[in-house]
Amino acid sequence: MSEVTPKAFRDDLLGSFETFWTANNPTVPVAYPNLPFDPESAGEDADAAWVRLFIAGTEEQGQQRFSSSVSRNQWHRSGVLVIEIYVREGSSTDRAYDLANSALLWLENSGATYAMLSNFSAPVEIGPDGTWFQLSLSADWLYITDRAA
């Protein structure tokens, strides 16, 4: 437990998602935090889709004691993971829901046991020309460590 740092936690979360997503949805590109991404790389056909991943709360500062007991040197961190799914207008909303269910499968079965789904939205038309629909999932997460950042 003492080796868990905010950066290690974030890297583990991103690595787990990338491994799962590549194996299960290889044709759907992912926009990862702080990496360049062009939504048009998803393609222009009606079946085009892409996913954006956000993670908040993995900064090095801000840990809080897990217990009020001074003798327990444990700290907790909490944050939110957001998965945004984009599908082209003209594709069925079933496509968005299929990708969302795939993301849920990752949350439930890929070792991300520290995340708990807290929001699942319906597809919403976005953009000035309405060519994309967005569906968002968010999961709160919490991990406990005996290492202060």
Residue type, 103: A
Residue type, 101: N
Does the residue 61 lie in any domain? Answer: yes
Rounded to two decimals, what is the model's pTM?
Answer: 0.77
94-113 pLDDT per residue, tens: 888 899 999 988 877 755 54
Does the residue 1 lie in any domain? Answer: no
Domain at 80, CATH number: 3.30.70.1700
State the pLDDT confidence band at 149, using cuts at 50, 70 and 90.
very low
Query: Would you say residue 93 has pLDDT above 60?
Result: yes
Does the residue 57 lie in any domain? Answer: yes
Query: Would you say residue 115 has pLDDT above 80?
Result: no
For 107, the domain range is 6-145
- The pLDDT value recorded for residue 79 is 76
Using DSSP's 3-state secondary structure scheme, residue 106 falls into: helix
Does the residue 63 lie in any domain? Answer: yes
16-42 pLDDT per residue, tens: 889 999 999 999 999 988 888 877 777
Cα–Cα distance measured from residue 102 to residue 85, given in angstroms and rounded to the nearest whole number: 11
Domain count across the chain: 1
User: Higher confidence at residue 3 or residue 129?
Assistant: 129
